[in-house]
């Protein structure tokens, strides 16, 4: 282990403020939110951003570690699987004779924690002075490796400024029995099992300590508790390196040897090698998915923050799990997966990290039987995906919760919010269209689309008016329950069925053997496909032909109108202000519903229909969900109102970056962060997949001088640059075969080494 001094710059944060998020001092009221924001994660391990300051023998708040897929179902009245936290492995306590160095975090005169988003790690820098005893400067680094996801690293550098005293540095682990049963502790290896689900977890650890470049032997004080003692002198430098490796097992596989092996590999490359390979992996992620904005520093930092957490949340190596509503940054919603993943996260991954998108969709394929069971249990055919799911695909939505007003509220989403099946099918089709991953389509994706279409065909019922109706559901707007013919649900269901019919023809023509196998497996007959077509052609969609407005659900237009301006400045959701019963009798919308539909399926809104529907529903939306602002931002940009879209982008970004908006102690709102990327790239740049290429329809806010981003399309890597000052769009193909790029409807051939630069005209967008 070499002296750390030649590489002290590793502990220096990126200097460009657009790449960092920093916090100074200590505020107990904001501590849990800070922990969420400063989480380091790699899609397998997530470590919340606890402070590097100890109080007595404990951390101020022990930083929790989460392992993707580590679910257990504790016995309770509502027995649902929950994500179980693993042991905290960052605990350090420094003491001088008779007392801890830090009794209270307010005693620390300066403390700065920095999330270096470019490098994917957290740094801290703090000074401490104990009058008459010792003064020292501490710097720390923590990461979970993006290149080897089982590995975590902690580095602490302690430099004595002045004072001579006996000092002790203790390093331990907290929560060894927190929610898990400890099976054995053997040296640096700990193995656990869950109480009920049969999962196993192993953690291997090793610590190295140097004093002025020379190793110092630790005293071992109990299981996984180490202590180093020495006498300080001015200029002295102590250096602690801690490596950990975690391995999860869902079956009889013994995770212990694998954890040892991964730790040994980490030991061989050393802490500097861990940092280097981790940074290289992050560099690749940023090259593939960065969004650069000139003219708006706040938006730039917000987008980098969003992309940092999006890149932190995915693990393309494990398709047995997906991304929960708070990713691995907190335990709100117990780690459960919602429709958010497909509608708000998959666009980012599909366009920038197809391997991660594929893994998330394969999770839906692996849980297809759970979706079939749910549909059958409710009397329908095909596949109805769980509203909340974990690793099995079975429904895990609680039946009741305690609301903001402390009243018990029945939760009906698990049975009535059925649009999720169409949402999954939508993500599957978009992934295939953008990536051209034919193997995925004919081995997994087509089956998902067909089985979800089968559900909708059995769910919709023909009635006396000659239309097929879907009654008794909840749409994205969860303020209204047991509604009939929700426009979002019905139009997405129709789209789902029609794409299934397309998939059948594609399979028959391109992969007839695959179609033969699948049709036999699913017992498809032509008569059933003909029935699907009839359902799609006759489904009620709520479109009022005279006005061009979609009625959000049957009877919505007749509900009480509420002027939301009368409730501006409220600090609680509108259904709390009005009461649940009255809210259901009004046109107050919780979140984007018809607006979400126009953002996802713009072809359903020709001419000025999109603008009409947006203008109608926007003033009726109370944005009672973190999902709502970004979807409104995408829609606003699409209809040519980039300034309003920017307002929504700022509103969405504030959810996780402003303490005045909402507490995020339970984790960042990963779907809102995905939505922020969507506003910038799908909204302002107008990116879409079209035929044999991509299309762009830029509409930038006036303050944005330039917008640049990277995307992938069918094995090709592209860089797009939009210059508002020069009114130009430049597309550069960095890898892959020639393709077509359309800018405002005009096609251009693009090949490597020959960027396309187009001057935007004043003609109307297509």
Say if CB 422 and CB 399 are below 8 A apart: no
CA dihedral sign, ordered 629, 634, 638, 642: positive
Tell me the helix, strand and coil percentages in the chain, rounded to 5.
35, 25, 35
The H or E element that residue 364 is part of is: helix 354-366
Read out DSSP for 368-412? HHHHHHHHHHTT-SS----SSB-SS-S----SEEE-TTS-EEE--
Catalytic hit among 148, 191, 478, 732: 478
**Strand partners for 688:** 695
| 627 Cβ contact partners less than 8 Å away, ≥ 6 residues apart | 340, 344, 476, 591, 592, 671, 672, 675
Say if CB 255 and CB 179 are below 8 A apart: no
Tell me 337's DSSP state.
B
Candidates 99, 98, 239, 57; CA nearest to 160 is 239
Tokens representing 334?
A: 């117990």
Q: What is the dihedral of CA 248, 373, 409, 474, to 10 degrees?
A: 120
d(CA 222, CA 685): 58
d(CA 298, CA 130): 39
Tokens representing 103?
A: 């009794």
**Strand partners for 246:** 203
Buried b (16+ CB within 10 A) or exposed e, 267-282: bebebbebbebbbebb
Tokens representing 42?
A: 């790699």
516 is catalytic: no
Q: 693-696 and 739-743 as β-strands: parallel, antiparallel, unpaired?
A: parallel
How many C-beta neighbours within 10 Å does residue 316 have? 17
Read out DSSP for 464-475? TTS-EE--SB--
Q: What are phi and psi of 680, to 5 degrees?
A: -70, -45
Tokens representing 377?
A: 């249990």
Tokens representing 272?
A: 């500097």
Say if CB 540 and CB 463 are below 8 A apart: no
E strand segments, 545-692: 549-550, 688-690
Say if CB 139 and CB 123 are below 8 A apart: yes
SS3 232: coil
d(CA 259, CA 328): 20
Read out DSSP for 30-49? THHHHHHHT-EE-SSEEE--
Candidates 105, 123, 126; CA nearest to 114 is 123
Q: What are phi and psi of 94, to 5 degrees?
A: -115, 135
d(CA 334, CA 328): 10
Q: 151-162 and 237-249 as β-strands: parallel, antiparallel, unpaired?
A: antiparallel
| 678 Cβ contact partners less than 8 Å away, ≥ 6 residues apart | 344, 347, 348, 630, 631, 633, 634
The H or E element that residue 58 is part of is: strand 58-59
d(CA 655, CA 668): 8
Burial of 42 per CB tally in 10 Å (0-12, 13-18, 19+): buried
Tell me 460's DSSP state.
S
- Known catalytic residues? 478
């Amino acid at each position: 282990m070499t002296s750390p001094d030649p590489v002290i710059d590793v502990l220096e944060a990126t200097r460009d403020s657009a790449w960092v998020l920093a916090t100074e001092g200590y505020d107990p009221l904001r501590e849990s939110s800070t922990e969420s924001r400063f989480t380091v994660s790699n899609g397998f391990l997530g470590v919340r951003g606890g402070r590097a300051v100890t109080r007595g023998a404990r951390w101020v708040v022990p930083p929790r570690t989460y392992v993707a897929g580590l679910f257990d179902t504790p016995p309770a009245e509502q027995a649902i699987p929950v994500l179980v936290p693993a042991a905290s492995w960052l605990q350090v306590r420094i003491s001088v004779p008779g007392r801890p160095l830090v009794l209270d975090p307010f005693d620390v005169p300066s403390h700065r924690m920095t999330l270096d988003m470019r490098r994917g790690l957290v740094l801290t820098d703090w000074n401490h002075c104990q009058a008459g005893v010792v003064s020292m400067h501490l710097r720390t680094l923590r990461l979970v490796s993006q290149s080897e996801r089982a590995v975590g690293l902690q580095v602490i550098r302690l430099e004595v400024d002045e004072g001579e005293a006996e000092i002790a540095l203790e390093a331990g682990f907290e929560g060894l029995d927190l929610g898990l049963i400890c099976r054995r502790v053997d040296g640096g290896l700990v193995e656990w099992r869950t109480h009920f689900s049969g999962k196993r977890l192993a953690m291997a650890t090793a610590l190295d300590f140097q004093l002025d470049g020379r190793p110092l032997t630790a005293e071992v004080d109990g299981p996984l508790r180490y202590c180093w003692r020495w006498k300080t002198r001015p200029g002295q430098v102590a250096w602690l390196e801690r490596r950990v490796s975690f391995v999860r097992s869902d079956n009889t596989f013994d995770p212990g040897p694998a954890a040892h092996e991964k730790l040994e590999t980490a030991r061989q490359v050393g802490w500097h090698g861990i940092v280097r390979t981790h940074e290289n992996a992050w560099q690749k992620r940023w090259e593939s998915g960065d969004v650069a904005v000139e003219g708006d520093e706040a938006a730039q930092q917000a987008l980098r923050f969003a992309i940092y957490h999006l890149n932190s949340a995915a693990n393309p190596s494990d398709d047995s799990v997906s991304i929960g509503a708070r990713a691995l940054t907190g335990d709100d919603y117990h780690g459960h997966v919602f429709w958010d993943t497909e509608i708000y996260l998959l666009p980012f991954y599909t366009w920038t990290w197809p391997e991660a998108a594929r893994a998330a969709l394969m999770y839906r394929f692996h849980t297809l039987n759970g979706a079939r069971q749910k549909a059958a249990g409710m009397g329908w055919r095909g596949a109805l995906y769980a509203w909340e799911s974990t690793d099995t695909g079975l429904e895990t939505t609680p039946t009741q919760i305690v609301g903001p007003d402390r009243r018990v509220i029945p939760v009906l989403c698990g049975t009535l919010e059925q649009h999720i099946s169409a949402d999954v099918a939508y993500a599957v089709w978009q992934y295939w269209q953008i990536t051209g991953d034919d193997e995925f389509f004919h081995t997994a994706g087509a089956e998902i689309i067909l089985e979800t279409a089968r559900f909708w065909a059995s769910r919709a019922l023909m009635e006396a008016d000659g239309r097929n109706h879907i009654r008794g559901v909840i749409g994205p707007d969860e303020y209204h329950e047991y509604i009939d013919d929700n426009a979002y649900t019905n139009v997405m269901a129709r789209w789902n069925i029609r794409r299934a019919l397309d998939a059948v023809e594609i399979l028959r023509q391109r992969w007839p053997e695959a179609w033969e196998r699948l049709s036999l497996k699913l017992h498809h007959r032509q008569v059933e496909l003909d029935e699907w077509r009839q359902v799609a052609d006759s489904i009620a969609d709520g479109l009022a032909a005279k006005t061009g407005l979609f009625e959000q659900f049957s009877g919505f237009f007749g509900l009480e109108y509420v002027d939301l301006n009368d409730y501006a400045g409220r600090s609680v959701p509108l259904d709390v202000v009005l009461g649940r019963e009255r809210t259901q009798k009004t046109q107050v919308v919780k979140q984007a519903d018809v607006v979400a539909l126009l953002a996802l399926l713009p072809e359903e809104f020709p001419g000025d229909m999109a603008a009409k529907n947006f203008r109608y529903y926007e003033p009726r939306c109370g944005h009672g969900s973190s999902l709502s602002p970004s979807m409104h931002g995408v829609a606003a940009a699409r209809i040519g109102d980039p300034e309003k879209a920017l307002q929504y982008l700022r509103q969405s970004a504030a959810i996780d970056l402003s303490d005045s908006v909402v507490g995020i102690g339970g984790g960042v709102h990963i779907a809102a962060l995905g939505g922020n990327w969507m506003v910038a790239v799908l909204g302002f740049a107008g990116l879409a997949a079209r035929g044999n290429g991509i299309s762009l329809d830029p509409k930038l806010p006036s303050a944005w001088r330039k917008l640049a981003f990277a995307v992938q399309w069918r094995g090709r890597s592209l860089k797009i640059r939009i210059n508002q000052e020069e009114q130009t769009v430049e597309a550069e193909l960095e890898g892959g075969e020639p393709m077509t790029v359309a800018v405002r409807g005009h096609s251009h051939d693009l090949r490597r080494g020959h960027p396309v630069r187009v001057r935007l005209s004043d003609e109307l967008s297509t």
